[in-house]
Structure 1
Amino acid sequence: MSEETIRSLSLGGVSYAYRLLHHPDGATDPVMVLGGALQGMFGWPQMEERLKPVASVITADLPGMGTAEPLPPGPSTELLCRAIEHILDDLGVARINLFGFSYGAGLAFGCARRFPARIARLALGGVPSHITDEQCAHWERAAEELRRGAVDAFATLATDGLLCLDEGRYVTRRRLAYRYVRRSMLQAARTSPHALDSLCRAVTDRPDFSGGLSGVPTLVFSGAHDTVTSPAHQQRFAATLDGSRFLVIPDADHWVVLERPQAVADLTARFFTDRPLSSAPALAPVARDEEPTDGAAAYV
């Protein structure tokens, strides 16, 4: 049984916190899970359930996210990576397995570039390695709606820019995912004191995905219908990482962690424990005769 601990830290005058689900006899290094700019430490139940049996699990409200204090003006990637390394120091661990999804993929990649010796394995999903000017303009319109207090319009615009709305492409749990993401955007807009700042940073302070990486075993995965950054672009990014593997998960878009949560968690657990990936459920299409519901209740 995992023991839960929450610890508060401070870096550069900014207070933040992390949550540890400790496994005393883990089969692999501790796993840290990083997500979107508006996601906090309690947003990963599906990952926790699959990872707790094999490793300690770490989630965080990093500076500018969740309940943490806002970030100072200016570029934030360097400070956020330092905050993550500070968590490792506080835990007293030499290395971790690092999972990054969407915005968190940029942070995870930044950490692997800055301190590769402390990253045992790296899993990156929904990597926003190629964002167009048109997409930036869309999210800037969403930010403008939030700026003027139109939270419903903001939530709709932000959600539309993150999911595949093409009914000609099958995405399992599409409507459930859409409702969840939009509701999460509404909640963040109404309750988070720095939702606007977080959104603006996600648009303007984009991580650098160039430069490659070596010495860190890496898995990159994409939903087959990711419209934020296409699977083809994510595959090209993966090709810059020495010895990496790239996998496409069928019947999902950018929000593959919502649409196929158990499959993503299983794939991640397999990768971090050096088990075969070729037989992972994530690589199999979803049966379309009956919409699956397992895992969906965790989000809606």
Structure 2
Amino acid sequence: MSGHDTGEVRDFAYEGFRYSCRVVAAHRPRLDPVLILGGAFQDKDSWRQHQPYFGAMADLVTVDLPGWGDADDLPARYGYDFLAAALEHLLTGLGRPRVNLVGASYGSLVAYCLAQRCQDRIARMVLSGAFDGVPAHTRATHERTVELLAAGRTVEFTEVMLSLLAPRTRAGAADGRNEALTRLLRAQFAGMTPEAAVRYAENSARVLAHPRLRSGGHDVPTLVLAGELDLCTPPETGRRVAAMIPGAAFVTVPDAGHLMWLERPRQFVGLLDDFFSGRSVGELACGAR
């Protein structure tokens, strides 16, 4: 498999909403398939740079659930339980009895609910940039982003989003990859279409109105990752999520922000591989450094 392998796109519908996924087969998979749910500004095509790292590990499944990517819009009144049900429907349609599950940022909420809904279908789960409702210190900021987009103030919207998501280093040193990622994010935020702005508002309303997650309810081995420099969902937020899951491990990744999977894709996939392969938490913590 090469990094340019487009895989197979499969289309589905659940309760009247169209959605899709991309399946990229590994050369010789040694683990259950890895299914990734990305954040609010990601879709099933956002993980192509990660594909080469999965070639000898597992089949890779990336998803556009309703409200994501090229799937149908999803009104905010539909909660994460609905999205988890759609994801279970996807697993059945794909004929995948069990997967390793990754939930990044916004996607961590759906992954968490899926684990409570059908834990027997998840071998292991990793949550990155996880949160249980919008952290109090950023709630006003999230509300502000919706207001700015609705008013067409995209320049201000872009700067607010970058203040939360732009990669940074502990020492403030220049980093070529992070600078390139910041430019990419700036272009993405500044170039949002009116349709994308409406979708962002609906997804933000879902996050802001979503009831707190229920503790426990599953025995899926879980790893919660947090970037040391994450301002959107700081480490203490991820630690609280880990405390809600019996036996969950928690690892802070040094010198990383909210988008660690984009800042350091090879390291991120390496942590997934380690955890999905059953390596100890101690080894993971050392590997994170």
Under TM normalisation by the shorter chain, which class is it? 0.7 to 0.9
SS at match of 1:6: strand
Q: Structure 2: which amino acid aligns with 1:197?
A: A
1:63 aligns with 2:94: no
Match of 2:199 in 1: 195
For structure 1, the 5+ residue unaligned runs are 285-300
Number of residues of Structure 1 aligned to a counterpart in Structure 2: 284
Would you say the 8 A contact 1:33–1:59 is kept in 2?
yes
Match of 1:35 in 2: 38
1:150 offset after TM fit, Å? 2.1
Q: 1:272 is matched with which residue: 265, 270, 276?
A: 276
SS at match of 2:165: coil
Q: Structure 2: which amino acid aligns with 1:139?
A: H
1:254 aligns with 2:254: no
TM-score (norm 1): 0.84
SS at match of 2:7: strand
1:283 aligns with 2:288: yes
Aligned-residue Cα RMSD (Å) equals: 2.7
Q: 1:231 is matched with which residue: 225, 229, 235?
A: 235
SS at match of 1:29: coil
1:89-238 counterparts in 2 under 5 A? 89-129=92-132, 131-163=134-166, 173-189=177-193, 192=196, 194-201=198-205, 203-206=207-210, 208-238=212-242
> Structure 1 residues 283 and 166, CA, compared in 2 at 3 Å: closer, same or farther?
closer
- For residues 256-298 of structure 1, the C-alpha deviation after alignment (integer angstroms, 9 at most, x for no partner) is 11222211111112211224561678522xxxxxxxxxxxxxx
Greater CA drift, 251-260 or 200-209? 200-209
Match of 1:23 in 2: 26
SS at match of 1:93: coil
CA distance in 2, matches of 1:248, 1:81: 27
1:170 offset after TM fit, Å? 6.4
CA distance in 2, matches of 1:77, 1:21: 26
CA distance in 1, matches of 2:25, 2:178: 34
CA distance in 2, matches of 1:69, 1:12: 11
> Structure 1 residues 129 and 264, CA, compared in 2 at 3 Å: closer, same or farther?
same
Would you say the 8 A contact 1:130–1:233 is kept in 2?
no
Q: Structure 2: which amino acid aligns with 1:40?
A: D
1:12 aligns with 2:41: no
1:225 offset after TM fit, Å? 1.4
1:7 offset after TM fit, Å? 1.1
For structure 2, the 5+ residue unaligned runs are none
CA distance in 1, matches of 2:150, 2:46: 25
CA distance in 1, matches of 2:174, 2:205: 29
CA distance in 2, matches of 1:171, 1:107: 35
Q: Structure 1: which amino acid aligns with 2:75?
A: P
SS at match of 2:241: helix
- For residues 77-121 of structure 1, the C-alpha deviation after alignment (integer angstroms, 9 at most, x for no partner) is 122111111110111111111001111111111110111111110
Q: Structure 1: which amino acid aligns with 2:16?
A: G
CA distance in 1, matches of 2:173, 2:213: 29
CA distance in 1, matches of 2:62, 2:34: 9
Would you say the 8 A contact 1:96–1:120 is kept in 2?
yes
Q: Structure 1: which amino acid aligns with 2:108?
A: A
Query: Which stretches of structure 1, 4 residues or longer, exceed 4 Å deviation after superposition?
Result: 163-174, 279-282
Greater CA drift, 219-228 or 24-33? 24-33
